[in-house]
């Protein structure tokens, strides 16, 4: 639960509504190793429905957890080849499409590398020999999919969906609500990802999503005016240890098998699709500003980003703040 509090502090801040007559209903719970909060604005929401929503959001954990021995993904990593559920299949396929799009900067096959670094527990970096060995056991080309059968063709390779599952679940939740006739006035915050469903209220008010200043967490870097979109932030200031002046954080460079060391402090991605935002915020961090900019400008539609650089510069790419 200590972790939950930490993540609550670092999660992007939602500015509370100044509108006195907007009734809202909120709930927070712990899932996907982070604090999740769900708010309905301007609607009468029964507790029973709120509980159904929580159950729905949590239900995917039994598929996607890499560490829970009862999860489907855990079994796949152990069995190496098995028929998986449509849910896990869809998530893996979607995640792999971002591995390809980002030329491997986003990589769900880094499980062994991520586990080796285990940055929330470690005090010292692993040895280069350990890193080299873990790095051997990666590569999205080693995942073979035939119908519902997923096969991991490299010994020691483990699939890790932690950098993607929350976004995937947020998109699913949006579909779930739509089927129930709700397509506005809902905000879902999962760790560093904020999904705004529709507009905040019938008066067409946008959500105000604050991006936490990574250099001074009690302040905001900027506030975004958002509706029907998702804001995902990846940074180094959440999960890390420091050793001899170097910050070893949780975003790995697939080429080195070690935490990314570059001039970026934090990346925020704004786009409709939460899964895409989750993958791209991690990928842009790995790729660096110039490659990320080229991808946004040449290959992506409707994706904006805010880069907080280590030198204090804030760079907006394809996003204009009023
Ligand atoms: P972030 O806000 O930084 O995107 P996430 O929780 O979405 O945070 O993803 C971070 C997790 O993704 C890490 O803890 C690790 O399990 C995994 N991960 C680390 N590096 C990569 C990478 N290059 N590609 C995909 N997943 C990664
Ligand atoms: Mg991510």
**How confident is the model at residue 22, as a pLDDT?**
54
Residue whose tokens read 């989750």: 278
% of the chain residues with pLDDT over 70:
93
Largest CA-CA distance found in the chain, in angstroms, rounded:
61
Of all atoms in ligand 1, which is nearest to the CA of residue 164?
A: 7
* Beta carbon of 286 within 6 Å of any ligand 1 atom: yes
For the segment 80-86, the average pLDDT, to the nearest whole number, is 98
Q: Where are the domains of the chain?
A: 10-58+186-317, 62-152
Centre of ligand 1 to C-alpha 23, Å, is 35
Tell me which fold the domain 10-58+186-317 belongs to: T-fold (3.10.520)
Whether the predicted pLDDT of 4 surpasses 50: no
Q: Among 13-22, 28-37, 182-191, where is mean pLDDT lowest?
A: 13-22
**Mean pLDDT across the chain, nearest whole number?**
91
Helix (H, G, I), strand (E, B) or coil at 81: strand
For 126, which DSSP code? P
Q: Among 148-157, 210-219, 262-271, where is mean pLDDT lowest?
A: 210-219
Centre of ligand 1 to C-alpha 111, Å, is 10
Whether the predicted pLDDT of 235 surpasses 70: yes
**How confident is the model at residue 2, as a pLDDT?**
35
* Beta carbon of 112 within 6 Å of any ligand 1 atom: no
Centre of ligand 1 to C-alpha 62, Å, is 19
* Beta carbon of 238 within 6 Å of any ligand 1 atom: no
| 8 A C-beta contact, residue 321 and residue 309 | no
Whether the predicted pLDDT of 21 surpasses 50: no
**How confident is the model at residue 18, as a pLDDT?**
33
Neighbours of ion ligand 2 (CB under 5 A): 163, 278, 282
Whether the predicted pLDDT of 6 surpasses 60: no
Residue 156 Rama label (left phi>0; alpha psi -120 to 50; beta): left
Q: What is the CATH number of domain 62-152?
A: 1.10.3980.10
For the segment 86-92, the average pLDDT, to the nearest whole number, is 98
Of all atoms in ligand 1, which is nearest to the CA of residue 253?
A: 23
Atom 1 (ligand 1) nearest CA = 234
């Amino acid at each position: 639960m200590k972790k939950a509090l930490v993540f609550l502090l670092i999660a992007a801040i939602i500015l509370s509504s100044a509108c006195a007559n907007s009734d809202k209903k909120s709930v927070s719970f712990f899932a996907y190793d982070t604090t999740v909060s769900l708010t309905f604005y301007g609607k009468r929401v029964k507790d029973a429905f709120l509980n159904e929503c929580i159950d729905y959001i949590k239900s995917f954990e039994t598929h996607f957890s890499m560490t829970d021995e009862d999860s489907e993904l855990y079994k796949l990593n152990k069995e190496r080849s098995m028929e998986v559920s449509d849910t896990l299949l869809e998530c893996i396929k979607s995640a792999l499409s971002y591995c390809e799009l980002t030329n491997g900067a986003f990589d769900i096959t880094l499980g062994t590398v991520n586990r080796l670094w285990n940055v929330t527990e470690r005090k010292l970096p692993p040895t280069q020999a350990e890193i080299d060995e873990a790095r051997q056991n990666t590569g999205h080309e080693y995942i073979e999919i035939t119908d519902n059968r997923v096969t991991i063709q490299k010994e020691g390779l483990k699939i890790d969906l932690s950098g993607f599952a929350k976004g995937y679940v947020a998109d699913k939740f949006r579909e779930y609500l739509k089927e129930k006739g709700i397509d506005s006035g809902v905000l879902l915050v999962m760790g560093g990802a904020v999904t705004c469903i529709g507009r905040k209220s019938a008066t067409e008010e946008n959500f105000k999503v604050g991006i936490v200043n990574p250099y001074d967490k009690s302040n905001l870097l900027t506030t975004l005016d958002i509706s029907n979109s998702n804001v995902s932030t990846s940074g180094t200031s959440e999960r890390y240890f420091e050793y001899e002046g170097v910050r070893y954080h949780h975003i790995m460079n697939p080429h080195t098998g070690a935490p990314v060391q570059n001039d970026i402090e934090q990346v925020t991605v704004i786009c409709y699709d939460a899964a895409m935002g989750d993958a791209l915020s991690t990928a842009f961090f790995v790729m660096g500003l110039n490659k990320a900019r080229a991808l946004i400008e040449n290959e992506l539609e409707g994706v904006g980003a805010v880069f907080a650089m280590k030198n204090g510069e804030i760079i907006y790419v394809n996003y204009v703040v009023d």
